[in-house]
Structures are given as structure tokens and as C-alpha cells.
Amino acid sequence: MTGRESGLVPLIRTEASEARAIARRLGSRGKMEQGPVLDIVGEILDAVRSGGDEALLRYTAWFDRVALQPSDLRVTEAEIRAARAALSPDMEAILSEAASNILRFHEAQRLPDLDLPATGAPPGDPSRIGLRTMPLERVGVYVPGGTAPLPSSVLMNVLPARAAGVPRIVMATPPRADGSVDPLILAAADIAGVTEIYRVGGAQAIAALAYGTAAVPAVDKICGPGNIYVNTAKRLVYGIVDIDLFAGPSEILVLADDTANPEYVAADMISQAEHDRLASAVLVTDSLPLALAVGDALERQMARMPRREILEASLRDYGALLVVPDLAQAAVFADAIAPEHLELVVRDPDALLPALRRAGAIFVGPYSPEPLGDYFAGPNHVLPTSGTARFFSPLSTADFQKRTSLIRYTREALMACARQVAAFADAEGLRGHAEAIRIRFPESGPQSADAALPAGEARP
């Protein structure tokens, strides 16, 4: 690998064979030593599980500097109505239209029931096998606090659950310094269809949603972004409840050729790099002139950004302008990275799409920028990060549905396969399984496999 600095962002000429080493470095972002975090989060989970609301209030006073009473934990309908009324008409329309787009996309994803004739049943027999699909009963959505409200996270986590038909959607979000909840978050929750909201944040909120307290109901699944303490808490309660994804820092990879507009590419890289210092923004291209032009555009555009300090750290440590010999090798590199967001800005994107199998979301063409997916287009912005797009998918309606197998055999259908089932059970040494079949056909049940053993030998 050879390289030189083009301003702040490294410009690297590389072969695709080196992609995996670069991918490993990017995938290690945020993998800090978690021993102390695990200890702290484990203590919080145990305290809330045993202490309930009292522990919640204690941690809220400690971490959020807000003194609440148990009756304060649930946000009132009056607060929610006031927040909705305070929205400007324009913002109300934007949130409502975005919610409509997201809901429409996710309603189309509902899993159907499955109903098939039972294999091996006699002709005309009514025996059936299938799957019954049902929504989860209670889902918890965590929405972080911080310096900026995230109504998009509300919409993207709540609306798939609503599309699935989940009847009870519970939201937890930290209180502000005065004990209130950000009105934009409350308004988005009301538009999305949240059924109840609690002013509690951090790992203690995850504990409350997992175990339940007198005030906060236990749920079946927890989704939503958060800091390392929230994400660690979600990992630790997984198994008691389901969770969405193991989230890591945000990332974007722009795969571009000489037709790409360098100003657009730079702006899209900045849109992800501004998230935090661990965010990654990478250009991979077969055009050295494009890479140089994007480097220059990044410098110019960053100069007018309010989060410039974060941008500089992110692009310096986890940004790159990678020049490869051709687009085929660029695609190999992109698949090795398995990015959360992949922008495809090339002359013939459809020719390259079949080679791109590992990405959370693919944005095709110069007028499909990543923020379009963050807020408005409809597909979910909760995506796999840190290379997990190799095996994880975007959050979807199916994540809020569960399926139960249905097996409905008649006596005749069971008799048609009774010998095979009993023999299978005998082969595994599970006599009780075999007898549960044979007992139904005492007059003509299949002979035990033990009968075929030499005298004196017993099946283990």
C-alpha cells in the first residue's frame, strides 16, 4: 500500500487484496476495553431488578441530575398533547409525511401465514402443516437524550412495530435538566403511535424495560440506539428479551468513478462523519483525480460546519480516500468492509449491483444521498454496523413478529408415516419418543427397532 496525505484525510492507493486488513481496522472502532463498563452496567441491572422504581429514581438523580417521584416517571397525556400542539405546521407536516412513507414501506413487509398439505398424507387427507404469524405483545423503544433530539429514531423504531401490529409500544427516553422530555421527541412519538412514554434513560431504562418495575412494564423486545452503557445493557439482557442489533459507530462507504460530483461525495461523507469521533467515512474509487477533488472539497466544506472538531477527528482517524485499479476491485473492497451505508455513484450502477452483497443499505446514483434514507424515503435507517452486514439485516417489520409452527395430522396421515418416525426415534435411542407413536396403533404399530438386534444386545 502506498499513500500520501491530501490535507486531513489520508489518500491511499491500494490493491483490493489489502481490503480485509483495512476492514478489520475499521471494524475495531469502539471496541474499547469493556471490563469497567460491564461491571458498572451489571451493577445497574441488578439494582433495578431488585430495587425497581426506587433504583430508577436513584440513578436518574445521579446521572441526569433530576429528582423525580414514582408518579413522575410516566409522561402525561397533557405533556404529549402540548408537545404536539407546539410543533410548527411545517414540521408537523414533514414528520407526518415521513411517518407515512416509513409505515407504507414496512406494512408491505408483513410476514404471511403459511399453510401446506402435510407431506406423505394420503390423497385428499385434510392434514396440514404451516406457520402462524403474530405480532409481539409489548415492545420497548429507547430514544437517547444528548445535545440534539432524534425524532427520526422514534419513527424508524416505532413504525415497524406498529406495522407488525404490536398493540403496546413503550418508549423510554432521558429527562432534560428540568425534568421534561424534549417536545420534538414527544411529538414524533405521538405521530408514530407510541402507547406510553417514560422519562428514564441509560442502562437503568434498559433494565426497567427488560425486568419491569411497578411503573415501567416489562417488554418482549428492546430496540433503539444509545451510548456504550445502553448498548452493553442491551447485550446483557438479551435472552431475557430480544433486542434489535448490536450497534456500533456509524459509517459510510462511497463507491464512485469519474462521473461522480466531488462536492456531492464530500458532503455525503461529512453527513456521517459528523455523528461522532468514531464514525467512518471512506471513498473508494478507480479515479485518482476524483479522490484528489474530494479531498479538496472536504477541506472547504468542513470549514463551515458547526461540528468541525468531531469531523476532523473522525476523518483523520477513520476516513480515507482509497484509489484502486478498477471498479471490480472497488466492489471487492466494499464487500470486505460490509458497510452500514454504501453509496454507489458510478456510470452503470446496475452492472455493479450484483457484486455488492454485503451492505446495510445501498444508495444508488447521485440523487440518492444517505440522509434521504435517514429521514424520509421509507426503508429503515437502523442498520448493521462494523462489518455485521455480512449476517445482519436492516430493522424490519418481521423483527416485531413471531411465528409458531402448526402441525395438524389425522389418524390416517400419522399411520402413513408412523413406522418412519418411530424408527428415527429408535435410532437416536429415545424409546419414549418412539412409544408415543406406537401407542396410538397398538393393533398394527410398527415393530420396535430393538427386535432386529441380536439376542442379548440392547440399544443404548
Q: Which residues are part of the catalytic machinery?
A: 340-341
Nearest-angstrom CA–CA distance, 371 and 118: 48
* Residue 178, CA atoms < 13 Å, CB-side half-sphere: 4
Under 8 Å between Cβ of 210 and 218:
yes
Taking phi over 0 as left and psi of -120 to 50 as alpha, with beta for the rest, 257 belongs to: beta
CA 22 to CA 3: how far, in whole Å? 13
- What 3-state DSSP class applies to 377? coil
Per-residue burial over 279-305, b = 16 or more CB atoms within 10 Å of its CB, e = otherwise: bbbbbbbbbeebbbbbbebbeeebeee
Looking at the DSSP bridge assignments, the partners of residue 322 are 12, 284
Selection from 93, 415, 43, 42 nearest residue 232 by Cα? 42
Widest Cα–Cα separation across the chain: 89
Q: Distance of CA 76 to CAs 18, 73, 179, 222, Å?
A: 55, 9, 13, 22
